[in-house]
Structure 1
Amino acid sequence: MGASLAGVQTLTTLPGLYYTMSDTAERYCPNCRETREFVRTARTRMNLGTKVKWRCPECGFRIVNIENAVDTGVSA
């Protein structure tokens, strides 16, 4: 069973690692030109932090986010 972390339901995968149960996030999609509900397609722990890949189900546009280090969904 998952643990509760600040009121968020979590799933324990390895000792000390907790992942939230949320598989969607609202993000701006540049292909659709509007805010869409992106689906999480992958999550990996790296040296820089946790890498999360998101995909727009409407057009297939993908975003990669590595905690506060990298976010391909943000315009330069």
Structure 2
Amino acid sequence: MATELERTCPDCDDEQTFYRAAATNLHLGLKTKWYCPDCGYGFVRVNGDIDSSTA
């Protein structure tokens, strides 16, 4: 599992490297929490398909 993820941060309004803060297995799949070290913005992904940042 990767510990870094490149994507646009909505708070920084720029391409950032997000770091994995935590990961756990659920009945839906792997739940992973990601955060931006520059501003602290975070989001959750479940099994790579469900993304809280798009909600």
TM-score in terms of structure 2 length: 0.87
| 1:24 corresponds to | 4
Hey, what does 1:56 align to over in structure 2?
A: 36
Task: State the 4+ residue runs in structure 1 displaced beyond 3 angstroms.
Answer: none
Q: C-alpha displacement at 1:73, in angstroms?
A: 2.3
Aligned partners of 1:28, 1:63: CA distance in 2, in Å?
A: 12
Is 1:45 aligned to residue 25 of structure 2? yes
Inter-partner Cα distance in structure 1 for 2:36 and 2:51: 15
Which one has the largest radius of gyration?
Answer: 1
The number of aligned residues is 54
Query: Identity of paired residues, percent?
Result: 39
Identify the structure with bigger relative contact order (alpha carbons < 8 Å, sequence gap 6+).
2
Q: Which residue matches 1:4? A: none
Letter in 2 for 1:32: C
**Structure 1 unmatched runs, 5+:** 1-19
Deviation at 1:27, TM superposition (A): 1.6
Which of 40, 45, 55 is 1:65 aligned to? 45
Cα distance, 1:55 vs. partner? 0.4
